[in-house]
Amino acid sequence: MNYDIANPDLAEGGARRIAWAGRRMQVLETVRERFREERPLEGHVVAACLHVTAETANLMLALRDGGAEPILCASNPLSTQDDVAAALVADGIPVFAIRGEDDSTYYKHINAALDHAPAITMDDGADLATVLHTDRRDIEVIGSTEETTTGVIRLRAMAADGTLRVPVVAVNDSATKHLFDNHYGTGQSTLDGIIRASNILLAGQNIVVVGFGDCGRGVANRADGLGASVIVVEVDPVRALSAAMSGYRVMTASDAAEVGDVFITVTGNKHVLRMEHFNKMKDGAILANSGHFDIELDLASLRAESTGRRQVRDNLEEFDMPDGRRILLAAEGRLVNLGAAEGHPADVMDMSFTNQALAAEYLVVNQDTLEPKIYTLPSEIDDHVASIKLFHLGGGLETLTPDQKDYLSGWQQGT
């Protein structure tokens, strides 16, 4: 079997973590049980470009139970869990991913996954789809799936300018993905990453959250719960107002730069914090990014204009500024929750990856009618996923009486 990983000897520890994550992914397990019986993906190669984590490993195993031949490469150079990669390889699943790989190895690995001639591709950020639409137009696929906001934005841009040549299921657009993974997953794991990198007490700190979308709202909420004083920076007036009415201070990036202790970017945009902001920050300010790419912070300028730099802890680098201040950067400005922690907990990836597994099935079942467009999974799938998750959380779901159904579908009854 062809693969490229850091160290096959790490397999045992990786297998333990995969098993632990699997115990908390009950919705995916339900799908796996059906997949084992029905084998809806029989014979299809699935090339997945996802964060190589214990949760992703469980998705790979579910796809294999469904009859697919999964191949895995990384969707970020710094998010690979080498022990998980080793465990998957030991279990017969080809993986091309090494934590800390450089950009050229990263793309070599994407190409290696595509060399397996996949019928379906899965992305987190649309890097694989981009290669599929540029260097590897030789590969014909049934369709692709996309996990994250930034990837969906890139794919919609491809659709808008006529570049898109395959059907894409935007998994991020499913309610049981973005309302939970982006909010609760990013909210918790981002702070987990910052705490692991710095071990600072968040209580009493001014935490600046740049971007108040699904992710930013979750981060702000969790930081608030830990006793931080939350400041939000937003460009969208409605979201900024929503932040203000949630009790957070809302400021321009320029004003926030002067008072923040920790800055967290979650915009999906580029250079939302740059030299004009770094120049105003306090000595010891910490920068962390949890948006998809490492361009949310203008790191090239920070590196160029600093007079010295050193690693002060694992995943925490310190930069000397010309005026003597020090600025700290977590996880190289890459996704801090995956670079400095373990990414989202399995409990929430359960729903995201159930949607991924069902999206693969959706592409196979509907392959004759799908066009090169962006699709969202039917809302019945959201209801199904949410119901199973709720059941496992011990919740009960109320049902409408026939009389209530009539009332809600009629117009006659008023004041």
Ligand X SMILES: NC(=O)c1ccc[n+]([C@@H]2O[C@H](COP(=O)([O-])OP(=O)(O)OC[C@H]3O[C@@H](n4cnc5c(N)ncnc54)[C@H](O)[C@@H]3O)[C@@H](O)[C@H]2O)c1
Residues in the chain: 415
By C-beta, is 71 or 272 nearer to ligand X?
272
d(CA 120, CA 152): 17
By C-beta, is 24 or 334 nearer to ligand X?
334
Binding site for ligand X (CB under 6 A): 148-150, 178, 181-182, 186, 210-216, 233-236, 239, 266-269, 272, 290-292, 335, 337
By C-beta, is 66 or 77 nearer to ligand X?
77
By C-beta, is 78 or 89 nearer to ligand X?
78
Residues 6+ apart with CB under 8 A from 31: 62, 354, 357, 358
By C-beta, is 14 or 268 nearer to ligand X?
268
d(CA 81, CA 280): 36
Q: How far is the CB of 412 from ligand X (least distance, A)?
A: 39
Q: How far is the CB of 305 from ligand X (least distance, A)?
A: 21
By C-beta, is 337 or 356 nearer to ligand X?
337
d(CA 155, CA 178): 17
Q: How far is the CB of 190 from ligand X (least distance, A)?
A: 6
Q: How far is the CB of 252 from ligand X (least distance, A)?
A: 9
What letter would DSSP give residue 92? Answer: T
d(CA 19, CA 25): 10
The SS3 assignment for 104 reads: helix
Cβ-proximal residue to ligand X, closest one: 213
Q: Given CA atoms 228, 229, 233, 238 in this order, what sign does their dihedral have?
A: positive
Report the run of H or E that residue 357 belongs to, with start and end.
helix 346-365
* CA-to-CA dists, residue 50 to 71, 85, 151, angstroms: 10, 12, 12
Q: How far is the CB of 365 from ligand X (least distance, A)?
A: 27
Q: How far is the CB of 224 from ligand X (least distance, A)?
A: 17
